Structure 1
Amino acid sequence: MSQLPRLISILTLLRSKRLLTATELANKYNVSIRTIYRDIRKLEEAGIPVTTIEGRGYSLMEGYQVSPVQFTEKEANALITAQHLVSQTKDASFAKDFREALIKIKSVFRTSVQEKIERLESNIRVFDFDYEDFSSNALSDIQLAITNLNFVEINYQKADDPNISFRKIEPYAFYSMNNKWILIAWCHLRNEFRAFRIDRIKHFKILHQKFEDRQFNLQAYFQTCPYKE
């Protein structure tokens, strides 16, 4: 890849990620770290406000805006396909937020690309043969609690248990299995990390109170902890 396409690509990455290291960029583009240093200087000379955070990496100055990114036809097709997959989720809040985000993304597509994706959109079907009756409407709010370190209070009902228990939790991560969203959180009732099916949360309240980050690592959790709720 020549320098100009690489500079454009680096700028796109900086817009999409809070922090990037020179090593990450060098590995991605298969160039030396010194080349990345030169690329960053070129961006700065072009008036791009790249901020260097000593010992951590590069980021863009808060609030900086550039012209809308132009999507390729293949990238646009990938987003349309993802829309159909997301539509199968059993969490209404997540599906709604994705639809609204995609409307904004579609607004920057070229007219020629928009015409093609409309054709593709009408010719995709995703079939779900999991007939278990479950749904939820909490994922979007819980995602905000994860990113902002807010305590959450929930009323939770385990499988095959008529009783509902009250929990105060610290939400950290979530994953999907068999179309079911699973929340990993520190449970103050059990005093350990627990997994909660989001569709089994009968009521929830996001608290303004913030918890101290326990530096949870999802990969390490999968290696050591079974599903517990």
Structure 2
Amino acid sequence: MTKERPAKAKGEGTRTREALDRLLTMIPYLYENARVSVEEVARRFGLTVGEVVAAVDRIATLGDPLLDPHQLIDVYIEDGYVGIDLEPAVRRPTRLTAKQAFALIAGAGLVRAEGLTISPALARAVEKVKQATARGDQARLEEFERLIGVEQEGEAPSEVFRRVECARVARERLEIEYLASSGREITTRKIDPYMLWNHTGAWYCGAWCHLRDETRTFRVSRIRSARPTGERFEVDPGFDATRHGDGPVYVRSPGDFTVRVRFGAGVSRYVEERHRDEIVERGKDGAVVVATSARSDAWVLNWLLPYGAQAEILEPASAREAMREACREILARYRESSA
């Protein structure tokens, strides 16, 4: 005999849809308004403070893929304010300039001419460009821009970006408020912006940091404010631009350290894709060991906690102890909640 499913409470589906709509509306609202007080968010969406905190917790689990914390939506509550930082993959689809769009068609044609097969995604993109530009009039050009999201060349992504770029060109020192990658600390510092570059849709600034007294890489979306100081600077002759724009976003600093992590077979395939060049050991059981640079134990925890028991820090001892303490705190919290 087949058991019947219990009927859903009347209005349950409606409440679920309303909650989802509220989350989807809240994300762009928080992004457009930078830091907003918890009370203001509650008033804006007709929620209690507790419901806002719960919504922030849910938003923090969104992103793609789940196992990479750097692809999750970075949302946090600090000093009574809600802040959010969207990864490029979440923020909006890839945008092309008009020249890039036409280069796309030409490049795909060259690939075909060599007798190679282009991917379905590239084929669809080329088809969209061709359809949008076939008639050549202004109306179709506007439709073309709508279809593939064309940006005017040189369009700055934000006011902060414009200030950083102007300071770079004028060689003017800036005072910035910078949010740490942990989302828990905002520091005020002076920087000399040497260069800007784009990596997978996100803007970065290589600059001399007067707080740390060394060259640092700053993600522009984490710069909360930028104020020209009127002071001038000269680019350090030892600054190597190829280590930034033409290389990885992360550039090792003198105070950084190497962390070695063993990943279990359950996530090794994913780790292979993300850290192929940093794998130093492969086990017969499918596990892999990764050696990479880290700036702090807090950064290591943010990176590894989403992997749960599939990740084990081998060294350094300080990072192992930091993870052990974090796990104790998590376990204590769950014991308290079940008491």
TM-score normalised by L of structure 2: 0.30
| Greater relative contact order (CA < 8 Å, ≥ 6 in sequence) | 1
**Which structure is larger by alpha-carbon Rg, 1 or 2?**
2
TM-score normalised by L of structure 1: 0.43
Structure with the larger helix share: 2
